[in-house]
């Protein structure tokens, strides 16, 4: 990890079988690395098992998972959420992650890459904006959205998204600005919700 670079956590917000999220995330992470603006850490909710019941303290069975994931989120300077749209909203595993880790999002920017059918996941993004505002995070206005995403997945399982490279760069540049500004601000004056 480059000490001089900001740290971006990319969250794959889908955990269901046969999901498209990993293909979208692979494309976005490759784009991110090609621009060289961030060190990237990928959190795949398909690989994380968080408790479904929110408690003040997680059970011993889940304590390490919650703690380790919390440390990864805490060390982030910015986030990008890769989200599908399920029933006009975002996924239960994503909401569970957000709810288990309330303070890690504070005074940090969040960007979105969405995918789905006709709406391209944009309804999920609009709901996530409300949730992250409640957690004192700053969401980036620009998004990347893949409509009819399954038409963009090749037989090799890779997303063809060359027309989305420019919007991805816009998000990353905005995230870099906000991440640097908010990191400096948190050092000068620790954030208190």
Distance between CA atoms of 183 and 193, rounded to whole angstroms? Answer: 16
Question: Looking at the predicted structure, is the pLDDT value of residue 162 above 80?
Answer: no
Average pLDDT of span 4-12: 95
pTM greater than 0.85: yes
Residue 59 has pLDDT above 90, yes or no: no
* Integer-rounded Cα radius of gyration of the chain: 16
Note the pLDDT tens digit of each residue in 15-33.
999 899 999 999 999 999 9
* pLDDT at 96 exceeding the cut of 70: yes
pLDDT above 70 coverage of the chain, percent: 97
On whether the CB atoms of residues 171 and 144 are closer than 8 A, the answer is yes
Tell me: pLDDT of 115 over 60. Answer: yes
Contacts of the segment 164-168: beta carbons below 8 A, 24+ positions apart: 164/27, 165/31, 167/142, 167/143, 168/28, 168/31, 168/32, 168/113, 168/144
pLDDT above 90 covers a percentage of the chain that reads: 78
pLDDT of 2? 59
Q: Mean pLDDT, to the nearest integer, of 166-188? A: 96
Mean pLDDT of 130-155: 95
């Amino acid at each position: 990890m480059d000490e001089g670079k900001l740290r971006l956590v990319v969250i794959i917000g889908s955990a269901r079988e046969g999901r498209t999220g990993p293909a979208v995330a692979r494309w976005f992470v490759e784009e991110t690395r090609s621009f060289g603006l961030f060190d990237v850490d990928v959190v795949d909710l398909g690989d994380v098992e968080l408790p479904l019941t929110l408690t003040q303290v997680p059970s011993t069975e889940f304590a390490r998972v919650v703690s380790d994931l919390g440390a990864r989120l805490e060390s982030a300077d910015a986030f990008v959420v890769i989200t599908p749209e399920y029933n006009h909203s975002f996924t239960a595993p994503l909401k569970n992650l957000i709810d288990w880790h309330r303070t890690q999002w504070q005074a940090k920017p969040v960007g979105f890459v969405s995918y789905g059918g006709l709406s391209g996941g944009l309804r999920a993004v609009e709901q996530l904006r409300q949730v992250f505002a409640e957690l004192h995070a700053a969401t980036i206005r620009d998004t990347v959205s893949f409509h009819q995403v399954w038409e963009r997945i090749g037989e090799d399982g890779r997303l063809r998204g060359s027309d989305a490279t420019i919007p991805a760069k816009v998000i990353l540049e905005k995230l870099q600005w906000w991440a640097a500004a908010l990191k400096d601000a948190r050092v000068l004056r620790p954030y208190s919700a």
